[in-house]
Amino acid sequence: MKQINKLKKEYDDIEIPSELDQMVKQSIQRAKASKKKHTPLKQWSIGVAAAAALFIGSVNVSPTLAQSMANVPVLGAIVEVITVQTLTMDKETYQAELKTPAISGLEDKGLQASLNEKYIEENKELFKQFKADVADMEEVGAGHIGIDTGYEVKTDTDRLLSIARYEVNTVGSSSTTMKYDTIDKQNNILITLPSLFKDDSYIEVISSYIAGEMKQQMADNEDISYFAFEGSDLDFQAIHSDQNFYITADHKLVISFDKYEVAPGYMGVVTFEIPSAILGDVLVSDTYIQ
């Protein structure tokens, strides 16, 4: 009862946006005008469609309502990743747009809360630093900087949810960094790269494959380039033990490198899908990678 009362209070405290209020009035007017034209079944269908449209609109314009709905057991699973906050600045030569994602519907509310808090804090700190940089540049009276963050759901299956978060910084040229979270939705586990493998031998296996792919790609296409020492040996030596990664819907491991990490800027963010066959001996199991 306490939870129901809490949700009711949160719902009652939500300020209904004018767009939604107008949507409701229009739906009522249309329903009255068409009442004589439709059978009870058709009227019921129209009501369901209007309710669905109202719900979707509410989630898009009201993060508070979205969070409240995520706490309702049945409806929480409808929205898995939403934008709960957007921090912006559009001031002469200084532009910022930071979109913050939130996950809803996980059974483990502690894991869900920790991830959502991490996403909020990340963007808050980035925006705080951006405003400080703007203040410094305004003092000298020159400069142009920008920041853009957002997210993309890379994988969403019955078991796995992989979210990519990007950060683009513009100071003359632009740089892009990525962060990924892959979650086992059934067991409520945040999957790390080391957790997939028996020991750290995966670093050599994956690194060797990627180095070979880099060389092959450059041999096949002159427009592809990776950093190299004096134009010969690759600069790339090995992945980090916690290298950026995600898992596809087909249970394939994808390793990701930020812009400028292993290649010139024009190559952008570089990814490699690792053949599962070469990982068989070092995997803990085939639950996630197949």
The predicted structure's pLDDT at residue 47: 45
* Mean pLDDT across 111-136: 95
190, 206, 239: which is the final residue of a domain?
A: 190
Q: How many CA atoms lie within 13 A of 13 on its CB side?
A: 10
Let me know whether 246 and 152 are in one domain. Answer: no
The side-by-side arrangement of strands in the sheet containing 245-247 is: 245-247, 253-257, 270-274
Q: What is the CATH number of the domain that holds 243?
A: 3.90.640.20
Is residue 283 in some structural domain? no
Six-digit token string for 93: 């030569």
Let me know whether 14 and 52 are in one domain. Answer: yes
The predicted structure's pLDDT at residue 194: 98
Let me know whether 207 and 166 are in one domain. Answer: no
Q: How many CB atoms lie within 10 A of CB 165?
A: 20
Q: Is 66 helix (H, G, I), strand (E, B) or coil?
A: helix
Let me know whether 27 and 121 are in one domain. Answer: no
The predicted structure's pLDDT at residue 138: 86
Is residue 75 in some structural domain? no
Let me know whether 94 and 141 are in one domain. Answer: yes
Continuous H helices in 89-163: 109-140
Residue 258's pLDDT band (cuts 50, 70, 90): very high
Let me know whether 142 and 211 are in one domain. Answer: no
Higher-confidence residue of 173 and 81: namely: 81
C-alpha to C-alpha distance for 207 and 237, rounded to whole angstroms? 7
Is residue 288 in some structural domain? no
173, 190, 207: which is the final residue of a domain?
A: 190
Let me know whether 202 and 179 are in one domain. Answer: no
| 8 A C-beta contact, residue 269 and residue 257 | yes
Let me know whether 30 and 91 are in one domain. Answer: no
Is residue 17 in some structural domain? yes
C-alpha to C-alpha distance for 259 and 240, rounded to whole angstroms? 16
Higher-confidence residue of 152 and 70: namely: 152
Let me know whether 50 and 91 are in one domain. Answer: no
Is residue 286 in some structural domain? no
Let me know whether 184 and 266 are in one domain. Answer: no
Please name the residue that has the structure tokens 């513009």.
170
Q: What is the CATH number of the domain that holds 153?
A: 3.30.565.40
The predicted structure's pLDDT at residue 171: 83
Check whether 62 has a pLDDT greater than 60: no
Let me know whether 106 and 176 are in one domain. Answer: yes
The predicted structure's pLDDT at residue 2: 45
β partners of residue 190 = 183
Let me know whether 224 and 170 are in one domain. Answer: no
Number of domains making up the chain: 3
14, 49, 70: which is the final residue of a domain?
A: 70
Check whether 32 has a pLDDT greater than 80: no
* Mean pLDDT across 159-183: 92
Q: Which residue range is the domain that position 264 belongs to?
A: 194-278
Is residue 225 in some structural domain? yes
Is residue 245 in some structural domain? yes
Backbone region of residue 36 per phi and psi (left: phi > 0; alpha: psi in -120 to 50; beta: other values): alpha
The predicted structure's pLDDT at residue 22: 52
To the nearest whole percent, how much of the chain has pLDDT over 90? 61
C-alpha to C-alpha distance for 178 and 149, rounded to whole angstroms? 10
Is residue 163 in some structural domain? yes
Task: Round the CA-based radius of gyration of the chain to a whole number and report it.
Answer: 24
Six-digit token string for 203: 């670093």
C-alpha to C-alpha distance for 267 and 23, rounded to whole angstroms? 46
